Amino acid sequence: MNLQAPGMKELKPQLDRLDLSRLPRHVAMIMDGNGRWAQARGLDRSAGHYEGVKSVRLATELSSDLGIDFLTLYAFSTENWNRPQQEVDVLMHLIGMAIQQETPDLVKNNVHLRLIGDLERMPEEAWNRLHACEVATAECTGLTLTLALSYSGRRELTRAASEIARAVAEGSLSLSDISEETLARHLHTQGMPDPDLLIRTGGEERISNYLLWQAAYSELYFTPTLWPDFDKSAYLEALINYQGRERRFGKTGDQVKSSHL
């Protein structure tokens, strides 16, 4: 952990409550509440999206400083294409610009950018900036920061099913060889561990088509804090809360306890 990083001193009381040997390996986040943050201030919804970029930076920094391996952020769902065109345009412009601006710091902090979703739907300008960052951070070996863009869990599963069906039809895969691993290999997240912790800000308590397969055993943490207000302290609270949970994976509490002895 990098305790010398800016802002870490103020977080000391919370860091003292955190067991650094039991951190989640993969944290996924549904970044919700930008619009309501802006509307509460009499601002246009886009002001909330701009403000939300700060929280992305803070979550990335803290994940990286703590040594968390994977942070996966839901930035834009397939369903979000149905928002007013002006808001979609703002979001697409902002995502591309923010990633371009952050690229030097991501490289400096050894953060590897990965993109998941129906990326062919991304407008060219945003796509070029995102792809340039992917290329620039390709050799980075620290935190993997994954942005879910034009992402739909159901679509991801449907696509995987059709790829597997094609392989069977072509004879390169036999029906009896299809396992959970086969399916996982056909998801956008292939090669990544499942999220241990899934955080949703903004007060809604739903999954909204996010990581439907991967979150099968994730611990869910819902907070009313709106995404632009989700700072390092709020993130640490979620991590502390996660460490208070017992992950049973179908077993009994006694079985889990005896396996720790």
In which residue are the tokens 């951070």 written? 137
Q: Which of 44, 80, 229, 231 is catalytic?
A: 80
Within 134-208, strands assigned E span 144-151, 197-200
How many CA atoms does the CB half-sphere of 183 hold within 13 Å?
12
Residue 152 contact among Mg ion, ligand IPE, none, beta carbon within 5 to 8 Å by kind = none
Assess whether 32 carries a catalytic annotation. yes
Q: Which is nearer to Mg ion, 187 or 211 (CB)?
A: 211
CB of 80 vs Mg ion, minimal distance in Å: 9
Give the residue carrying structure tokens 């952050």: 102
Phi, psi of 133 (to 5 degrees): -70, -40
Which DSSP category does 228 fall into?
Answer: G
User: Catalytic residue at 209?
Assistant: no
Which of 17, 41, 154, 206 lies at the binding interface for ligand IPE (CB under 6 A)?
A: 206
Stretch in the footprint of ligand IPE (CB under 6 A) among 28-36, 116-124, 158-166, 171-179: 28-36
- How far is CA 247 from each of CA 21, 25, 199, 259, rounded to the nearest angstrom? 16, 14, 16, 12
Q: With binding defined as CB under 6 A, does residue 96 bind ligand IPE?
A: no
Q: What's the start-to-end Cα distance of the chain, in Å?
A: 27
Q: How far is the CB of 165 from ligand IPE (least distance, A)?
A: 29
Among 29, 31, 32, 37, interactor with Mg ion by CB under 5 A:
32
51 contacts ligand IPE (rule: CB under 6 A)? no
Q: Are 24 and 242 in contact (CB under 8 A)?
A: yes
Decide if residue 208 touches ligand IPE (CB under 6 A): yes
3-class secondary-structure state, position 208: coil
Catalytic residues: 32, 80
* Interface with ligand IPE (CB under 6 A): 30-36, 74-77, 80, 91, 202, 204, 206, 208, 227
* Interface with Mg ion (CB under 5 A): 32
